Structure 1
Amino acid sequence: MWQDIEAEVDLLNFGVVARAAAGLIRAAKGAPLTIGISGGWGAGKSTLVKLIGAELVAKPGEDQGAALVLLNFNAWLYQGYEDARHALLDVVTDRLLEQVKSDETLLQKVKAFAKRIKVLKAVRFFAPVASHVAAGTALGGPVGALVGAVSGLVTATGELADRQEQFKAVQSAYSELEPELKELVDAKKERSLPKEIQGLRDAFEELLKELDVTLVVLVDDLDRCLPNTAISTLEAMRLLLHVKRTAFIIAADENMIRGAVKAHFKGVEIEEGQVTSYFDKLIQVPLSVPRLGVNEVKAYLVLLFADLAERTGSIDHKTHFQGRKVILDKLKKSWEGGFDSELFTKAFGDVAHLIAAELDIADQLAPLLVASEEIGGNPRLIKRFMNNLMLRRTIAADMDLTLPFAELVKVQLLERCATAVAFEFLAKAVASSQDGKAVFFKAVEESGVKGEAYVAPDPSWEGSFYEQWVGLSPQLADVDLRPVLHLSRDRALGLASYDELSTQAKKVLAAAATVDGESHALVAQLRALGEMEAAKLLKRLIRQARAEQWSDSSIRRCFNCPAAFDQLGVQLAAGLAEIPVPKVTTVILPLLAEKSWAAQLLAKWAADTTASPSVKGYFRAKSKKK
């Protein structure tokens, strides 16, 4: 198995980009610099950030003169915390305190900087109190607690015990805010938020100058945050950006950040150009994570297999290290090609034959893993594909199933990249035969060997992916696929029986499996099929939702069937009851609210103490309206 985290060893040749980014920081010689690393989910942003940090540690100052102080900041860790906006400022302060702990003079200056941050928090919280109280709106944070407690004490008309409880609330809220309030009371009248911000930036710059360091902040997982946390972190960064002796490396999916900006300014008319410029104005040097081509994916697979071979004892560490170096050196000129058996034999020398089967699989898999829309050369998805493969091989061994590795790889690739309808077409063919062999394979595989044009055995098998997949080794026409499909039972139909669908129902299923919610056109088609066929479709949609870990979109598409035939709601409710209560989201609750067949299920979720806070809040709000 391979860890699904940022890699410490560069298997993707990202080192070239990492060295370039590190070189820019060193060449800046203390001038402020902001580098943005963009890329989709799983593309390798975190790995690239880590490699840049490692490069800076390996060659810290060189021509710059000033030392580099590195700070890793994971915005996602502060998701859900009330002080997420100030988390970055606090982490910067903690890093500087660690840097100067042995120098008392500098230590006091860092503490003075930390005090400015506290004062800034107080100014930010305290300034709007009067307007909020006048408007009668609710306040969050310590000031809100104080104001709320005082209001309750003043207006209390209940028993003495209630007023005493209110007084304790005032004491608690004040004790939390007391240092900041004293700062404000003692401050000069001209103190304002803009002046505090500028004072903070000036103090920060002066502090870095006295420390004679350049602070390099590596910000990661920003695009995993909810919109409020993402924007709060960017706003906090803005306080420190473009200060001398600072460098920020910000990794984020630009599309996710654009979505966060739109959500933040919801209700305000904002043009697309303004959304884009919000993030772009923070970035001086934009870098994109290199997209993997066929050669890069082929090399990546080979290196993953080589890593596994060392861990299982097939090859030794020295051979693995030398082979990796040969392949990574070749990757520097990947456009020249030459990623073939000759290269891999050269890389691993006399032991290449020990992993020859895996090398051949990598050679065949790479083009499909790049071309497939489901994977698209994404490093994280490739690694997950490989991890799932290893897991299934382990399960097969434990069940005494003798399955050639190549067969397992080929079927899992189809399961991962084919549509649900296409995969179920294979399952039907296997279930319908006496010996577990898919009869249609014989014709398509023979025509491929003869070089004839590919003819899809079913409309669901049309497309270049299926044509390429059929051509992969090994051929499966004479293979009993029941054991392999048994391992794929989350998506495969039960082999003991098969609910036949009409030709029209198959077409409707193909459409129903891809929609993201209720569709009037789809509901009409389901009604035309009849209740019996619609029930079969719903069973498959529930199976698909289960395979997709009950994602919101996979659940929403199931509602088309009871929309066509209300009596199918009982079948859907039974399926939804399988969802672990902590994973239930508020997205589906309104869809169930007025359904009589969902009443029992909703009551069960409302009473369950393991439900998420948002779900509990939903049910509390509903109960108050009754």
Structure 2
Amino acid sequence: IKHAVRQHFGNVDDDLVINYFDKLIQIPIRVPPLSTQEVRAYMMLLFVETADIEDAIKESIREAVCAQLAKSWRGERVDRAFMQTVYKDAPAEIIARFDTADRLAPLMVSASQIAGNPRLVKRFLNALSIRMAISRAHDVGVDEAVLAKMLLFERCGNPKVYDALTAAVNNDPDGKPVFLAEWEQKAAANEELELDQLWDDPFIREWLAITPQLADIDLRGVLYVSREHAPLITPEDRLSSEGAELLTAILKIPDMAASLHDRLAALPRPETTVIMDRVLEQARREQEWGTPAILDACIAVAKADPSLGTRVAGFLSERPAGQIKPGIVPKISDQPWAAGVLDRWKDTDVSDPVKKAIGTVEKG
């Protein structure tokens, strides 16, 4: 109506439009935005509505929630604990959803893209329900609370930041956004946060404080059911079926990698590079470098593609001196890339037995 008045009277200013309304409307009633309390109650009632329970029970729950909301000005809350007193026989699945509503309601109000709008809240929960159905249909073990937290970021966060988060998950060998660990811990403890420039946003600060914490959770299943916006891209996606089969075999039984030399050597160079990427990712988990099985895999891939030998050499040169054990010296000494590694170790604080083993090899 404001727009029509402006157009009719030639784009007049807001004050004149409001004056026009004042002549027509004698008793103005403004509908206030929903509070966190009301959004939480609405979400919980939506969960009840979609649950497989009797209509009579649903109606009794609705009446109890409405009565409790009427007393919210006195500090009475509609939360998970209240819902369990109303619905004493609630199954564990429903209680978990009440927990989800408890955690998400504050951000449903503060996030500008939702701002407590009931229609948008319902759309969010519908999207969550659909993705959970997809996860069950594909036998993907997705925790609803984790999926809800990621979906909230996808819908309300900066798209560039969401892309950075999914890229971190895709690039981690275990699909975990480990870089979030310190931020999430400080947010949960209400400590001061120093975020990177891209991440420094009020929404993200609130989002980090929501449980569960994601840093130690494999999110590949979540991305799998969220592929409309976040494709699941792993290094294996760039491999042929032969390359993917070899990579699986090497990571599963790394000390048998030498027996796969001919097949590895026949792969295109880009594929052996991807395989070396994954082998070195797994190698970084080793804390002692004598003759771990993953070392056999590193040597085998470098033999199949000699151009990758420098990567193995660089990787071993960067290992802490205290991790190097004498057994590794004869293991790698006959490799064309090993001379530089042995020279570097002689100049570091490796143990005397390691230096003695190097001296023995050089004399030989």
Assess same fold via TM > 0.5: yes
Q: Check if 1:260 corresponds to 2:7.
A: no
Unpaired segments ≥5 residues, structure 1: 1-256, 498-626
Deviation at 1:290, TM superposition (A): 2.8
**3-state DSSP class of the match of 2:89?**
helix
> Amino acid of the residue matched to residue 292 of structure 1?
L
Q: Residue 61 of structure 2 corresponds to which residue in structure 1?
A: 323
Deviation at 1:495, TM superposition (A): 2.3
**3-state DSSP class of the match of 1:349?**
coil
Q: Residue 78 of structure 1 corresponds to which residue in structure 2?
A: none
Deviation at 1:372, TM superposition (A): 1.0
Q: Check if 1:275 corresponds to 2:17.
A: yes
Q: Residue 460 of structure 1 corresponds to which residue in structure 2?
A: 198
Q: Residue 479 of structure 1 corresponds to which residue in structure 2?
A: 217
Does the CA-based 8 Å contact 1:430-1:495 persist in structure 2?
A: no
Q: Alpha-carbon deviations, 1:487-523, whole Å to 9, x = none?
A: 33333366247xxxxxxxxxxxxxxxxxxxxxxxxxx
Q: Residues 352 and 454 from structure 1, CA distance in 2 versus in 1: closer, same or farther, beyond 3 angstroms?
A: farther
How many residue pairs get aligned? The number is 234
RMSD value, Cα = 2.2
Q: Residues 354 and 316 from structure 1, CA distance in 2 versus in 1: closer, same or farther, beyond 3 angstroms?
A: farther
Q: Check if 1:407 corresponds to 2:151.
A: no
Q: Alpha-carbon deviations, 1:36-64, whole Å to 9, x = none?
A: xxxxxxxxxxxxxxxxxxxxxxxxxxxxx
Q: Residue 123 of structure 2 corresponds to which residue in structure 1?
A: 384
Q: Residues 493 and 352 from structure 1, CA distance in 2 versus in 1: closer, same or farther, beyond 3 angstroms?
A: closer
Question: What are the residue-to-residue correspondences of 1:292-311 with 2, within 5 Å?
Answer: 292-309=34-51
Does the CA-based 8 Å contact 1:291-1:377 persist in structure 2?
A: yes
Does the CA-based 8 Å contact 1:408-1:484 persist in structure 2?
A: yes
Question: What are the residue-to-residue correspondences of 1:4-23 with 2, within 5 Å?
Answer: none
Deviation at 1:292, TM superposition (A): 0.7
Match of 2:86 among 347, 356, 369: 347
Distance 2:205 2:12 in 1: 46
Does the CA-based 8 Å contact 1:424-1:493 persist in structure 2?
A: no
Q: Residues 347 and 466 from structure 1, CA distance in 2 versus in 1: closer, same or farther, beyond 3 angstroms?
A: same
Match of 2:33 among 291, 296, 300: 291
Match of 1:489 among 201, 224, 227: 227
Question: If each structure's strand is expressed as a fraction of its own residues, which one has the higher value?
Answer: 1
Distance 1:491 1:472 in 2: 22
Deviation at 1:330, TM superposition (A): 1.0
> Amino acid of the residue matched to residue 229 of structure 2?
R
Q: Residues 477 and 260 from structure 1, CA distance in 2 versus in 1: closer, same or farther, beyond 3 angstroms?
A: same
Does the CA-based 8 Å contact 2:223-2:232 persist in structure 1?
A: no
Q: Residue 362 of structure 1 corresponds to which residue in structure 2?
A: 101
Question: What are the residue-to-residue correspondences of 1:583-594 with 2, within 5 Å?
Answer: none
**3-state DSSP class of the match of 2:90?**
helix
Q: Check if 1:393 corresponds to 2:132.
A: yes
Does the CA-based 8 Å contact 1:444-1:470 persist in structure 2?
A: yes
Distance 1:269 1:341 in 2: 50
Unpaired segments ≥5 residues, structure 2: 236-364
Q: Alpha-carbon deviations, 1:416-468, whole Å to 9, x = none?
A: 11011111110121122122111212222333455532232x32221332122
Does the CA-based 8 Å contact 1:298-1:366 persist in structure 2?
A: yes
Distance 1:417 1:336 in 2: 32
Distance 1:494 1:355 in 2: 30
> Amino acid of the residue matched to residue 32 of structure 2?
P
Distance 2:35 2:174 in 1: 40
Q: Greater RCO between the two (CA within 8 Å, min separation 6)?
A: 1
**3-state DSSP class of the match of 1:351?**
coil
> Amino acid of the residue matched to residue 328 of structure 1?
C
> Amino acid of the residue matched to residue 94 of structure 2?
I
Q: Residue 114 of structure 2 corresponds to which residue in structure 1?
A: 375
> Amino acid of the residue matched to residue 319 of structure 1?
I
Deviation at 1:352, TM superposition (A): 6.1
Does the CA-based 8 Å contact 1:430-1:436 persist in structure 2?
A: yes
Q: Residues 493 and 396 from structure 1, CA distance in 2 versus in 1: closer, same or farther, beyond 3 angstroms?
A: closer
Q: Residues 420 and 319 from structure 1, CA distance in 2 versus in 1: closer, same or farther, beyond 3 angstroms?
A: same
Q: Residue 186 of structure 2 corresponds to which residue in structure 1?
A: 447
**3-state DSSP class of the match of 2:147?**
helix
**3-state DSSP class of the match of 2:29?**
strand
